[in-house]
């Protein structure tokens, strides 16, 4: 890999240990994927923030990096943590919340914005063709496919190293020829809601491995639907982007291998993601990935004048940024007895410690992970059904 003089100096430790170790992480990664050089990035998005998923071991490394003067050179944001600043902070054991706060403190020292969201694109929308170093698969796929930015699926350490150096190795999704589709998917059924888009993602992730699909038949997709598709696709496969196409002639010209998705495939996938035997969830969870302003407005509209059933809880998860902008909608949701939580989600928190055994959600990604990561049974259904279950009457 070719390094500039300045990069060599960093590599040799002339700018301190923190910069040197970050440069070494990036160079190692670049060599592994045969990158020729490092390229500047506009932003980094760092995962591995929740104490639940991170554990104890990396905390020392984060502390060492922060103490040795590791500071971000580009805009850097954080994925969700394991609690929110109010509701869960008081419900989870002190030993856990203290560890989580220690982790956040290290990122804060290094200059990482405490965004604590998996939808960093609602804070600052990346420019088309800009280069990023983002972790969090749902955001990576959304950025590449919907926003037209370029990012590989980083791990927490490589995203942090890129934030501190301000660069990333030039390979994978940063190289235009690697972004071309190599399989064609024809969705033969009109998907009805966000849950069906999520189910399509789960299904394609399992089939495609790391292939890049060009998908035909999603003309009715909203940005929220594509967010669900991105999140689910990243959960079951290694695909980093998809293309949407309206024109079947284009696909014929490309002579790609073709697969069809039918109504039954979607139905079966949704059924497989519902593991609960009861129709009475302890928790109804909306906001995987974190809600946009439009989604909060829709939930508020459905929540207005209603009351949550006494035996159920409603969590609506979003970012601090979006919550701040949607005060009136938040009031309506909270007026119904729901909780609009920032910084967190069910998967990266300890719902099992709160006695939650059954989670109902409109997110295929959450339904995919909850049985293993939250030890919960799942009911996967669209937003309207989730809210019908949550409210009385």
**Contacting residues for 40 by C-beta, under 8 A, at least 6 apart:** 131, 166, 167
Q: How many residues bind ligand F3S (CB under 6 A)?
A: 14
* Least Å from the CB of residue 78 to ligand F3S: 11
Sheet holding 313-318, edge to edge: 339-342, 313-318, 283-291, 358-361, 377-380
Q: Of these, 48, 80, 156, 166, which contacts ligand F3S (CB under 6 A)?
A: 80
* Least Å from the CB of residue 346 to ligand F3S: 7
The answer to whether 72 touches 161, Cβ cutoff 8 Å, is no
Residue 118 interacts with ligand F3S (CB under 6 A): yes or no: yes
1 or 49, CB closer to ligand F3S?
49
What are the strands, taking DSSP E only, across the chain? 38-40, 43-46, 75-78, 132-134, 167-169, 183-187, 213-216, 243-245, 258-261, 283-291, 313-318, 339-342, 358-361, 377-380
Q: Which helix (H) or strand (E) holds 225?
A: helix 223-236
77 or 184, CB closer to ligand F3S?
77
Question: Taking CB under 6 A as the criterion, which residues in 221-250 touch ligand F3S?
Answer: 231
* Least Å from the CB of residue 79 to ligand F3S: 6
174 or 290, CB closer to ligand F3S?
290
- What does the DSSP assignment read for 26-75? HHHHHHHTT---EEE-SEEEE---SHHHH-SHHHHHHHHHHHTT---SSE
Q: What whole-number distance in Å separates Cα of residue 95 and Cα of residue 216?
A: 50
Residue 138 interacts with ligand F3S (CB under 6 A): yes or no: yes
Residue 211 interacts with ligand F3S (CB under 6 A): yes or no: no
Residue 356 interacts with ligand F3S (CB under 6 A): yes or no: no
Q: What whole-number distance in Å separates Cα of residue 140 and Cα of residue 123?
A: 15
Q: Which helix (H) or strand (E) holds 266?
A: helix 263-272
Site string for ligand F3S, 274-313 (x = CB under 6 A): --------------xxx-----------------------
Q: What whole-number distance in Å separates Cα of residue 66 and Cα of residue 25?
A: 16
User: Which span sits near ligand F3S by CB under 6 A: 25-33, 218-226, 328-336, 340-348?
Assistant: 340-348
Q: What whole-number distance in Å separates Cα of residue 74 and Cα of residue 319?
A: 20
80 or 157, CB closer to ligand F3S?
80
The answer to whether 132 touches 41, Cβ cutoff 8 Å, is yes
Q: Of these, 284, 345, 367, 386, which contacts ligand F3S (CB under 6 A)?
A: 345
* Least Å from the CB of residue 10 to ligand F3S: 32
Q: Of these, 92, 270, 341, 347, which contacts ligand F3S (CB under 6 A)?
A: 347
The answer to whether 261 touches 334, Cβ cutoff 8 Å, is no
Q: What whole-number distance in Å separates Cα of residue 160 and Cα of residue 25?
A: 10
Q: Of these, 185, 348, 356, 370, which contacts ligand F3S (CB under 6 A)?
A: 348
97 or 362, CB closer to ligand F3S?
362
Distance from the Cα of residue 103 to its chain's centroid: 19
43 or 138, CB closer to ligand F3S?
138
DSSP state of 126: P
CA separation (Å) from 39 to 29, 35, 157, 166?
Answer: 13, 10, 18, 8
User: Which span sits near ligand F3S by CB under 6 A: 5-13, 36-44, 261-269, 345-353?
Assistant: 345-353
Residue 10 interacts with ligand F3S (CB under 6 A): yes or no: no
User: Which span sits near ligand F3S by CB under 6 A: 107-115, 125-133, 318-326, 342-350?
Assistant: 342-350
Q: What whole-number distance in Å separates Cα of residue 29 and Cα of residue 150?
A: 17
231 or 283, CB closer to ligand F3S?
231
Q: Of these, 365, 367, 383, 391, which contacts ligand F3S (CB under 6 A)?
A: 365
Q: Which residues bind ligand F3S (CB under 6 A)?
A: 79-80, 118, 138, 231, 288-290, 317, 345, 347-348, 365-366
């Amino acid at each position: 890999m070719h390094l500039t003089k300045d990069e060599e100096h960093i590599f040799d430790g002339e700018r301190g240990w923190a910069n040197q170790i970050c440069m070494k992480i990036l160079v190692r990664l670049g060599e592994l994927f045969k990158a020729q050089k490092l390229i500047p990035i506009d932003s980094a998005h760092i995962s591995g923030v929740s104490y639940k998923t991170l554990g104890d071991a990396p905390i020392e490394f984060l502390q060492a990096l922060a103490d040795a003067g590791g500071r971000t050179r580009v805009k850097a944001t954080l994925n969700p943590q394991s609690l929110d600043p109010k509701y869960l902070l008081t419900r989870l054991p002190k030993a856990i919340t203290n560890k989580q706060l220690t982790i956040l403190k290290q990122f804060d020292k290094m200059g990482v914005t405490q965004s604590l969201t998996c939808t960093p694109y609602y804070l600052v929308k990346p420019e088309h063709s800009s280069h990023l170093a983002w972790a969090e698969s749902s955001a990576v796929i959304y950025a590449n496919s919907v926003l037209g930015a370029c990012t590989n699926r980083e791990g927490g350490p490589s995203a942090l190293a890129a934030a501190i150096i301000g660069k990333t190795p030039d390979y994978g999704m940063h190289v235009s020829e690697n972004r071309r589709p190599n399989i064609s998917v024809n969705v033969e059924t009109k998907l009805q809601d966000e849950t069906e888009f999520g189910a399509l993602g789960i299904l394609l992730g399992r089939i495609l491995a790391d292939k890049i699909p060009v998908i035909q038949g999603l003309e009715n997709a909203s940005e929220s639907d594509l967010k669900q598709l991105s999140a689910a696709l990243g959960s079951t496969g290694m695909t980093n982007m998809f293309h949407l196409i309206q024109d079947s002639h284009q696909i014929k010209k490309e002579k790609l291998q073709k697969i069809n998705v039918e109504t039954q495939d979607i139905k079966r996938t949704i059924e497989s993601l519902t593991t609960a035997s009861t129709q009475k969830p302890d928790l109804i969870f909306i906001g995987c990935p974190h809600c946009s302003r439009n989604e909060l407005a829709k939930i508020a509209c459905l929540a207005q004048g209603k009351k949550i059933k006494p035996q159920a809880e409603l969590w609506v998860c979003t970012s601090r940024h979006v919550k701040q902008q949607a005060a009136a909608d938040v009031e309506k949701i909270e007026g119904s007895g729901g909780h609009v939580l920032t910084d967190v989600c069910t998967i990266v928190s300890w719902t099992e410690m709160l006695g939650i055994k059954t989670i109902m959600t409109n997110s295929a990604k959450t339904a995919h992970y909850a049985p293993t990561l939250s030890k919960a049974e799942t009911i996967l259904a669209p937003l309207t059904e989730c809210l019908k279950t949550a409210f009385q009457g």
